[in-house]
């Protein structure tokens, strides 16, 4: 008998999840479903993402809710739009063969009227991110008086993102008598406090050891010199021929710089960070999901809730500021029973942080060596030969060309032909890795820090004109600015003359520009609290930011720029006001201090 039937799940649902490939319950499902199916207890489940949490609470909800009624009976709160959509979609899939099940996904950054319409039509399960949920509650557009079950999914993430107050406000709209089920990957004291405040004697369940990462993840670290990081990273990528990875950086600028450098060096990469509009984010995510992107370069905040299966590597290009975040990062790989690698590039001084992470995840890291050029060449060559070996041959289409192909090769032996094919790529690698040094930190000490001769992708030193400071602004050619427009905008905003502005280096979603040292403060003050097309405009000193250094800028006390009127520029509107929280990212960017991400 199907083990899900043993757990009391109805046939229709078992049929649907069998189609989804669920053969037996995952450990969290096995433990949580019997408890939750009774509908009698509050519940705290400590489990990573990717362990099958959604079905652990979703399947019991489908058994407990009265679907003949059309009012909300369950509310699932989760931190991000991606997760919200995923949960709603999964619930609908489990209920594929049930009648009258209505689930609505309520999240920011999308048209609210569609969501309101669905709610009006009648729903039993509301899956929501906190910001948009409060908005809808504020419009008195939903009645939670019949809610019997509240699920707080990824509770630690919601608190990390500053949703504590929103959660309190939302829960105060639900009846006193209800069951609350909380899921969290970690159990910091803030999450504990929620459990204490909102639950009575919750049943607690831990999958794996407390705060322990997924068993299927291998944790590796490489010790390198800070300035070799990029080259070392590329070596690892080149060596891992089937990589499908997420690369974590600490700041938006770092994600952009690395994605740009990778694209320039011929890799298939793009960045995901908080400055992108929802539409841009969706586009990047679609490409990643479709695997047209091989490397997704992301900040912690932007990557929250990313739910893509088969990620082979999580790469910590920079370790997270908060060691707790390491668990969230590494949990993006080894989902649904697969294996994965979470690797970190660190300098000698950061080894202590690795030890702290080991304590948190309860697992040891393995120290690895950056592959040598010869190893990479061998690996790439074999991968290529493998590809040739396994290529699908379209007999029909190639046949007409075969006689002339054969003729052109007739003077060559089989060995010669193979050698030539291999050399096509081999010569490129040889060229590419010519004089490539050993990048491991200890070797670099030994060889006296010889330069990175030959290896491609050496970072170009940027020369800044004397007496000028190089600044970053998060507007670029995608905003349909020309260099002249940008000059005008800077001069207008800072009230300085064009002579004060030096080189302007326009990029896709951002621009570097030079300003005379004496006018830097004017620029910061001028752009303080401004927005362009609903996006908060951000100006930073470029070098400082990319090193994760402190942010500079006029005063941060929410001053409005003087004369703050609207300006139109090529159809885009520049607002000299502080951004309202209703627009894009309102949910995600509560506090200015997070805007680096
Ligand atoms: P979740 O932790 O709910 O995001 O689930 C992670 C992935 O595991 C999703 O792709 C699910 O469809 C899949 N999954 C969940 N439960 C099972 C199961 N019992 N058997 C196989 N796959 C599952």
Q: What's the mean pLDDT in 311-332? A: 88
Q: Which of 336, 337, 338 to mutate to test the pocket of ligand 1 (most atoms within 8 A of CB)?
A: 336
- Residue 66's Cβ-side half-sphere holds a number of Cα atoms within 13 Å equal to 7
Mutate to test the pocket of ligand 1, among 24, 54, 88, 208 (most ligand atoms within 8 A of CB): 54
Q: Is 9 helix (H, G, I), strand (E, B) or coil?
A: coil
Asked whether the predicted pLDDT for residue 562 surpasses 80, the reply is: no
Contacts of 268 (CB under 8 A, 6+ apart): 292, 293, 294, 295
Q: Which residue's alpha carbon is at the smallest distance from atom 20 of ligand 1?
A: 22
The rounded distance, in Å, linking the Cα atoms of 432 and 200 is 63
Say if residue 462's pLDDT is above 80.
no
Mean pLDDT rounded to a whole number for the chain = 83
Q: Where is average pLDDT lowest: 9-18, 87-96, 353-362, 549-558?
A: 549-558
Average pLDDT for 321-347 = 85
Average pLDDT in the 244-248 region? 95
What are the domain boundaries of the chain? 3-206, 217-372, 374-437, 468-594
Residue 20 CA to ligand 1 center (angstroms) comes to: 9
Determine the distance separating the centroid of ligand 1 and the alpha carbon of 90, expressed in angstroms: 9
20 pLDDT more than 90? yes
517-526 per-position pLDDT tens digit? 999 999 999 9
Contact 515, 469 (CB under 8 A): yes
Protein residue whose Cα sits closest to atom 13 of ligand 1: 336
User: Which one has a higher pLDDT value, 122 or 583?
Assistant: 122
Kindly report the protein residue whose alpha carbon is nearest to atom 6 of ligand 1.
50
CA–centroid distance, 154 to ligand 1, in Å, is 15
* CA–CA gap between residue 77 and residue 545 (Å, rounded): 34
Tokens standing for residue 526: 């001028």
Per residue in 152-211, pLDDT (tens digit) is 999 988 887 778 889 999 999 999 999 999 999 888 788 888 888 889 889 888 875 444
Candidate from 6, 32, 52 with most ligand 1 atoms within 8 A of CB, to mutate: 52
Q: Assess contact for 305 and 568: CB atoms under 8 A.
A: no
Average pLDDT over residues 119-134: 96
Best CA proximity match to 373, nearest among 425, 432, 427: 432
- Angstrom distance (rounded) from CA 501 to CA 514: 6
d(CA 371, CA 233): 10
Atom number of ligand 1 nearest to Cα 86:
4
User: If you count DSSP H runs as helices and E runs as strands, how many of each does the chain have, helices first?
Assistant: 24, 22
What class is the 468-594 domain? alpha beta
| Structure confidence at residue 360 as a pLDDT band (50, 70, 90) | confident
Ligand 1 pocket, Cβ-based, cut-off 6 angstroms: 20-22, 25-26, 29, 49-55, 307, 309, 335-336
pTM above 0.85, yes or no: no
Q: For residue 49, give the ligand 1 atom closest to its CA.
A: 2
Query: What is the model's pLDDT at position 47?
Result: 84
What are the pLDDT digits (tens) for 465-519?
888 999 988 887 767 777 888 898 999 999 998 889 988 887 767 788 999 999 9
Distance 56 CA to ligand 1 centre (A): 9
What the block records as the tokens of 180 is 């609350």
3-206 shares its CATH topology with 468-594: no
Q: Do the bridges between strand 74-77 and strand 313-316 make them parallel or antiparallel, or are there none, so unpaired?
A: unpaired
Does 2 score more than 80 pLDDT?
Answer: yes
Read off φ and ψ for residue 253, nearest 5 degrees. Answer: -60, -40
Is CATH 3.40.50.1380 the right assignment for the domain spanning 3-206? no
Instruction: Give the DSSP H/E element, type plus range, for residue 295.
Output: strand 295-299
**CA distance linking residue 243 with residue 234, whole number of Å:** 11
217-372 placed in CATH 3.60.70.12: no
């Amino acid at each position: 008998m199907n083990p899900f039937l043993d757990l009391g799940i109805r046939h229709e649902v078992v049929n649907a999840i069998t189609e989804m490939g669920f053969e037996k319950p995952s450990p969290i499902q096995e433990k949580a479903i019997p408890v939750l199916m009774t509908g009698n207890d509050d519940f705290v489940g400590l489990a990573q993402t990717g362990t099958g949490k959604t079905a652990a609470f979703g399947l019991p909800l489908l058994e407990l809710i009265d679907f003949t009624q059309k009012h909300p009976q369950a509310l699932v709160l989760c931190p991000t739009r991606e997760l919200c959509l995923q949960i709603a979609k999964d619930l609908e899939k489990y209920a594929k063969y049930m009648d009258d099940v209505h689930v609505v996904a309520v999240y920011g950054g999308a048209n609210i009227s569609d969501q309101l319409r669905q709610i009006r039509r009648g729903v039993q399960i509301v899956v929501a991110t906190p910001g948009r949920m409060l908005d809808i509650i504020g419009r008195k557009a939903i009645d939670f008086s019949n809610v019997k079950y509240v699920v707080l999914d990824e509770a630690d993430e919601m608190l990390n993102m500053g949703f504590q107050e929103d959660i309190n406000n939302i829960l105060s709209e639900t009846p006193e008598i209800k069951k609350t089920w909380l899921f969290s990957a970690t159990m910091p004291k803030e999450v504990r406090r929620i459990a204490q405040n909102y639950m009575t004697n919750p049943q607690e369940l831990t999958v794996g050891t407390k705060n322990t990462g997924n068993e299927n993840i291998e944790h590796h670290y490489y010790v390198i010199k800070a300035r070799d990081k990029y080259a070392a990273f590329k070596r690892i990528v080149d060596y891992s021929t089937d990589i499908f990875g997420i690369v974590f950086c600490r700041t938006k600028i770092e994600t952009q710089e690395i994605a740009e450098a990778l694209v320039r060096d011929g890799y298939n990469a793009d960045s995901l960070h908080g400055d992108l509009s929802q539409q841009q984010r969706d586009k990047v995510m679609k490409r990643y999901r479709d695997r047209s992107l091989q490397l997704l370069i992301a900040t912690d905040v932007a990557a929250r809730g990313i739910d893509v299966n088969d990620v082979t590597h999580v790469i910590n290009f920079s370790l997270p500021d908060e060691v707790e975040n390491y668990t969230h990062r590494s949990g993006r790989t080894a989902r649904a029973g697969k294996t994965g690698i979470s690797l970190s590039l660190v300098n000698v001084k950061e080894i202590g942080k690795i030890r702290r992470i080991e304590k948190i995840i309860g697992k040891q890291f393995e120290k690895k060596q950056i592959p040598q050029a010869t190893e990479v060449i061998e690996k790439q060559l074999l991968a290529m030969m493998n590809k040739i070996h396994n290529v699908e041959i379209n007999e029909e289409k190639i046949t007409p060309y075969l006689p002339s192909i054969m003729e052109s090769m007739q003077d060559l032996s089989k060995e010669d032909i193979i050698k030539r094919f291999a050399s096509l790529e081999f010569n490129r690698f040889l060229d590419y890795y010519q004089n490539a040094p050993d990048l491991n930190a200890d070797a670099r000490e030994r060889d006296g820090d010889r330069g990175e001769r030959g290896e491609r992708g050496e970072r170009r030193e940027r020369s800044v004109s004397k007496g000028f400071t190089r600044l970053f602004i998060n507007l670029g050619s995608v905003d349909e600015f020309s260099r002249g427009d940008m000059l005008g905008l800077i001069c207008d905003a800072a009230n300085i003359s064009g002579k004060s502005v030096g080189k302007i280096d326009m990029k896709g979603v951002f621009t570097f520009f030079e300003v005379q040292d004496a006018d830097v403060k004017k620029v910061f003050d001028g752009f303080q609290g401004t927005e362009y097309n609903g996006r908060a405009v951000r100006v930073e000193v470029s070098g400082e930011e990319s090193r994760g250094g402190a942010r500079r800028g006029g005063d941060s006390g929410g001053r409005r720029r003087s004369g703050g009127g609207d300006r139109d520029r090529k159809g885009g509107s520049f607002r000299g006001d502080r951004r309202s929280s209703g627009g894009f990212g309102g949910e995600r960017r509560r506090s200015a201090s997070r805007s680096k991400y």
